[in-house]
Amino acid sequence: MRSFIEKWTQFKFSRFLVSGAFNTAATYLIYLVLLRIFSYQVSYSIAYALGIILAYVLNRIYVFKSHRGLASAFMMPVVYAVQYGMGMVVIYLWVDVLLLSAKVAPLIAVAVTIPITYLLSRLAFATKSDGEQDSR
């Protein structure tokens, strides 16, 4: 089992999924803690901002193991702004057009936006020396 995990995490997309799951769990926990003190809007905003920072660190150190200097730092908010906008569109379509459950809508939004978020993150962190290794 250990060799399977080691082999699976050699691929950047696999590491992206693992780091995304960790980031989601961590920021959700932060959100729940902050919710005891602040409104849901303030709690969500703080947790989301911390999630961007955590995603930057995880992408730089664990997922892509490289960065493009300040370009990577400036790209992360753009990546997450795109993800947020796409997610809102997916949620709107899911709830208001398809008339499906709002409780499931955020999960659908995450599933739909993962490929785009990965590609944009890869663009933010890939260096010219990555070359053919980008898909790994």
Given this model, what pLDDT does residue 49 score? Answer: 87
| 19 touches 63 (CB < 8 A) | yes
Identify which of 28, 55, 22 has the alpha carbon closest to the alpha carbon of residue 44.
28
- List the helix and strand counts (H, then E) for the chain: 5, 0
Identify which of 28, 27, 74 has the alpha carbon closest to the alpha carbon of residue 51.
27
pTM value > 0.95? no
Identify which of 62, 52, 55 has the alpha carbon closest to the alpha carbon of residue 12.
62
Task: Determine which of 41-50, 76-85, 124-133 has the lowest per-residue pLDDT on average.
Answer: 124-133
On the CB side of 83, how many CA atoms lie within 13 Å of its CA? 24
Residue 98 has pLDDT above 60, yes or no: yes
Tokens linked to 101: 């459950």
Mean pLDDT of 67-88: 83
Over residues 7-36, the pLDDT tens digits come to: 555 677 888 889 999 998 898 889 889 888
Mean pLDDT of 92-112: 84
Identify which of 117, 104, 114, 108 has the alpha carbon closest to the alpha carbon of residue 90.
108
Identify which of 22, 7, 21, 19 has the alpha carbon closest to the alpha carbon of residue 122.
19
| 59 touches 83 (CB < 8 A) | no
Residue 135 has pLDDT above 60, yes or no: no
